[in-house]
């Protein structure tokens, strides 16, 4: 996914949320910049906040037998972040075309400079089996926003 | 706990195990040394290997209603470790005087130089309640070595 | 350090700061509670914010040849924190009696319930040698609050 | 990158290395499986071992003004890994067609079952500027294997 593809996909997203985080001392490597793998922790923070906004009750969903395991993750790095930098992680919910939930993420500094962008792709599983189609049952448990446009 | 106290307590331990680990790039901070909090991850590695050696079946124990939550952790830092250093983490099982499991840890480089030493202290809980005394039930589930000397 | 000792030492601290953090999905272990080692990451967050409040310019201090390596860390665990819990980490600066910087930390939930408390102890090094006494040079570089009461 | 593309690219790689690691307690999330972001830590372990095998002296390279920052990372997840599982991470060096270093990774269990596969892509920077072409200078500093086939 290059930056053009990212921007095109994000344009179609109707739901997003931005969270702020200060870069921790232990997020930074011996080169003085955030270690590349830690961006996935930033993605996770944004996703948790987004799921709360959607009132996606994790335990509720889990008890109903649903899971949303990550099947692919990707991050592209444009500019480094450093210790004590305040960063903003924006998460976008991509309109689904299959029983998958796809999030896109942009990490920016407070001057709106893009530091990184990426994605996590999640399949919807019921009792450990991936769903073939969105059915009515899953629509009872997952927030309406996930089915936006279906 | 100072180094003298550590050595005295370790002398009484009859069970120990050493594991080796190479310091990962992302374990090291911007000062070029292992971030202090990562030593607890090294302790965890040694404890996992030690529990396997004792044939402590985690799931088995858990199903029987037992847990061993950490109630205290401590680490003392003597010499830094750096990227790609091979370190040896030795774990010692302290003979118990109450229904607690106490581990001590020493982290050394391959030249036997002490880098850090510390402890984790675990209470034994049955159905989320701390045990007051070692009873026969718990002795069925936990390895004999844990009761050594009782 | 037991809870009584903690409370007595904290009472003497004149400088403190509280930061809030939401427990991340990846902070939590397979028992559904924050993994014990992650509390040191929470301590680090509070210390970074506190150093910013003191206007302790990390790079400035470093260029002047000073370092504050951790020589001991300790954490006591009282109540578990779970995924999405909002926690408050309060950091206290202990008045120094030697060229050491000692921080104490309390982690609480929003209902003021104590989850954990601990400490990190730092020696002051100049050009990699620990300082024997607070001298005038170090007082130029480090914030006045660190010498409070000396 | 799907599994077919991965296999095709890996077929052309002449240099690879496999390292073993036991899944740590704190690598696993509350669903009982390795948190997706931790696979990048496994990738990092394999890369460190591979660079050692190539005798790529990190400090040497750094002093000469070179850096190899990650510009893209990706991981695809096929099967979960659990606490205490022994996993094997194989790293492959992709023959370069530009001044980039591309690694591919496969994570398998000891029964050769594929758990995850992915990539990290690194640009070669000299004094913080990306190289346009492989020049003779860089070939003095980087291992011959990186230029295999050029």
CB distance A45–C58 less than 8 Å? Answer: no
Distances (CA, A) of C115 to B128, C10, C75, C85: 16, 16, 10, 11
Number of alpha carbons in the 13 Å side-chain half-sphere of residue B135: 8
Q: What is the mean pLDDT of residues D118-131?
A: 92
Which of C30, C32, C35, C37 to mutate: most D Cβ within 10 Å?
C30
Q: Using one digit for the tens of pLDDT, what is the confidence trace for C71-113? A: 999 999 999 999 999 999 999 999 887 889 999 999 999 999 9
Average pLDDT over residues C27-32: 95
| Both tokens assigned to B105 | 């840890």
pLDDT given at position B140 = 78
Pick the residue from chain C with its C-alpha nearest to D25. Answer: C29
- Select from D33, D73, D76 the Cβ nearest to the Cβ of A75: D73
Chain D CB contacts of A74 below 8 Å: 72-75
Bridge pairing between strands D100-109 and D114-123: antiparallel
Residue D113 is predicted with a pLDDT of: 98
pLDDT of residue C136: 78
* pTM attached to this predicted model: 0.95
Mutation for testing the B interface, residue in C32, C40, C48, C117 having most B CBs under 10 Å = C40
Average pLDDT, integer, range C54-70: 84
CA distance, residue A120 to nearest chain B CA (Å)? 22
Nearest 5°: CA angle at C6, between C1 and C12?
Answer: 135
Distance between CA D41 and CA A41 in Å, rounded? 12
CA B57 to chain centre: 17
Q: Which of B100, B108, B105, B106 is nearest to B119 (CA)?
A: B105
Q: Is the pLDDT of residue D149 over 70?
A: no
Average confidence score pLDDT of chain A: 92
What is A3-144's CATH number?
3.10.129.10
Read off the pLDDT band of A69 (50, 70, 90).
very high
User: What parts of chain B have a pLDDT lower than 70?
Assistant: 149-150
| Number of residues written out for chain C | 150
pLDDT at B149: 66
pLDDT recorded at residue C45: 98
Mean pLDDT of chain D: 92
Q: What is the pLDDT of residue D118?
A: 98
pLDDT of A20 over the 90 cut = yes
Query: Which phi and psi (to 5°) does residue C125 adopt?
Result: -110, 140
Pick the more confident residue, A140 or C19: C19
List helix spans (H) across chain D: 3-11, 39-53, 58-63, 136-141
Instruction: Determine the pLDDT at residue D135.
Output: 77
List CB contacts (< 8 A) between B48 and chain D: 22, 24-25, 83-84
Would you state the structure tokens that stand for residue C55, as one six-digit string?
Answer: 């206007």
Q: Quick check: D99 and D134 in contact, CB under 8 A? A: yes
| B3-145 is a CATH 3.40.50.10490 domain | no
- C-alpha distance from A33 to closest chain B C-alpha (Å): 8
What integer pLDDT is reported at residue B9 of this predicted model?
Answer: 94
Q: Which chains touch A (3 or more CB pairs under 8 A)?
A: B, C, D
D7-58 pLDDT per residue, tens: 999 999 999 999 999 999 999 999 999 999 999 999 999 999 999 998 887 7
pLDDT at residue A149, as a whole number: 66
Residue of A nearest to C86 (CA): A49
ipTM (interface pTM): 0.94
User: SS3 helix, strand, coil % of chain B, rounded to 5?
Assistant: 30, 35, 35
Comparison of pLDDT for C47 and D98, the residue scoring more: C47
Task: List residues in chain B touching A: CB distance below 8 A.
Answer: 25-26, 28-32, 35, 37-38, 83
Residue D74's pLDDT band, with cuts at 50, 70 and 90, is: very high
> Given its phi and psi angles, is residue D85 left (phi above 0), alpha (psi -120 to 50 degrees) or beta?
beta
For the cut 70, the answer to whether the pLDDT of residue D150 exceeds it is no
Q: How far is CA D45 from CA A145, D22, D39, D100, in A?
A: 39, 12, 10, 20
Q: Which residues contact C141 (CB under 8 A, 6 or more apart)?
A: C60, C61, C64, C66
Residues A84-125: pLDDT tens digits?
999 999 999 998 878 899 999 999 999 999 999 999 999 999
pLDDT tens-place string over residues C108-142? 999 999 999 999 999 999 888 898 888 777 787 77
Q: For chain C, what is the mean pLDDT?
A: 92
pLDDT at D76: 98
Q: Do the Cβ atoms of D77 and A67 come within 8 Å?
A: no
CATH fold for the domain made of D3-147:
Thiol Ester Dehydrase; Chain A (3.10.129)
Per-residue pLDDT, A98: 85
Using a CB-CB cut-off of 8 Å, the residues of chain C touching A59 are: none
Contact D79, D110 (CB under 8 A): no
If DSSP codes are grouped into helix, strand and coil, which group holds residue C148?
A: coil
Q: Where do the structural domains in chain A lie, given as residue ranges?
A: 3-144
Higher pLDDT, A128 or C70: C70
Check B84 against D22: CB less than 8 A apart: no
Of D28, D37, D38, the CB nearest to C29: D28
* Contacting partners of chain D (3+ CB pairs under 8 A): A, B, C
Q: How far apart are CA C16 and CA A146, in angstroms?
A: 43
Determine the pLDDT at residue A91.
98
A13: tokens are 């997203």
Into which CATH architecture does domain C3-143 fall?
Roll (3.10)
The DSSP code for B144 is: G
Q: What percent of chain D has pLDDT over 70?
A: 99
Per-residue model confidence (pLDDT) at position D79: 97
Q: Name every chain A residue with its beta carbon within 8 A of the beta carbon of B32.
A: 30
Exposure letters B81-92 (e unless 16+ CB within 10 A, then b): bbbebebbbbbb
pLDDT at res. D144? 81
- In whole angstroms, give the CA distance from residue C95 to residue C98: 9
Contact D37 A71 (CB under 8 A): no
């Amino acid at each position: 996914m290059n930056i053009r593809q990212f921007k095109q996909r994000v344009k179609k997203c109707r739901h997003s949320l931005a969270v702020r985080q200060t870069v921790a001392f232990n997020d930074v490597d011996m080169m003085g910049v955030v270690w590349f793998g830690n961006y996935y922790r930033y993605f996770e923070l944004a996703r948790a906040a987004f799921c709360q906004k959607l009132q996606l009750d994790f335990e509720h969903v889990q008890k109903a037998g649903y899971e949303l395991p990550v099947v692919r993750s990707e991050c592209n790095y444009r500019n480094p972040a450093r210790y004590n930098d305040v960063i903003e992680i924006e998460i976008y919910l991509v309109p689904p075309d299959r029983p998958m939930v796809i999030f896109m993420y942009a990490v920016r500094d407070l001057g709106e400079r893009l530091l990184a962008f990426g994605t996590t792709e999640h399949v919807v599983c019921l009792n450990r089996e991936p769903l073939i189609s969105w059915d009515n049952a899953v629509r009872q448990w997952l927030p309406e926003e996930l089915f936006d446009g279906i």
